[in-house]
Amino acid sequence: MIARLGAAVAAGILVAAMAHADPPRIVSVEAEKTGMARRISVTLEHPDEGWDHYAAGWRIEDADGKVIAERELLHPHVDEQPFTRSLSSVMLPDGMKTFHVRAKCSVHGWNEQSVAFKLSEVD
């Protein structure tokens, strides 16, 4: 009985830890051309818990992981999920056809996975 209870408690702790390890998920990305620059809008989803653990930003990278621009998020979005934030006046390198978006949370840092966004042929 005690062994079963201990195993159940350990399993519960493991499940809770895994739930808190969810990185911010990139739901969608949009790029709008504004003159020579672009306005990039990213929709994120993350189980924000408050000031101690929240989606803290996203960045635009080239194919090699070089950071082109970064959008810092300064507060949690506990009651606003998913949420969209934009970054204006983003200058992408000439000839760039695809960029990558990577998100971070205040506890776990930058996500290992990024999302590729292909620019339209019209751009």
Question: All domains of the chain, ordered by start, with CATH?
Answer: 24-118 (2.60.40)
**Cβ atoms within 10 Å of 104's Cβ, excluding its own:** 21
- pLDDT, residue 16, reads 44
Q: Give pLDDT tens digits for 12-41.
A: 444 444 444 688 999 999 999 988 899 999
Whose CA is closest to 68, among 31, 105, 43?
Answer: 31
Element holding 87 (H helix, E strand): strand 83-90
| Confidence band, pLDDT 50/70/90 cuts, at residue 81 | confident
Asked if residue 54 lies in contact with residue 48, where contact means CB atoms within 8 angstroms, the answer is yes
- pLDDT, residue 17, reads 44
Q: Give pLDDT tens digits for 51-63.
A: 999 999 999 999 9
- pLDDT, residue 78, reads 81
Asked if residue 83 lies in contact with residue 75, where contact means CB atoms within 8 angstroms, the answer is no
- pLDDT, residue 19, reads 45
Look up residue 82 and give its two tokens: 């998913």
Mean pLDDT (whole number) for 98-118: 96
- pLDDT, residue 15, reads 42
**Cβ atoms within 10 Å of 12's Cβ, excluding its own:** 10
| Share of residues in the chain with pLDDT > 70 (%) | 80
Asked if residue 32 lies in contact with residue 89, where contact means CB atoms within 8 angstroms, the answer is no
Q: Dihedrals φ, ψ of 37, to 5°? A: -105, -175
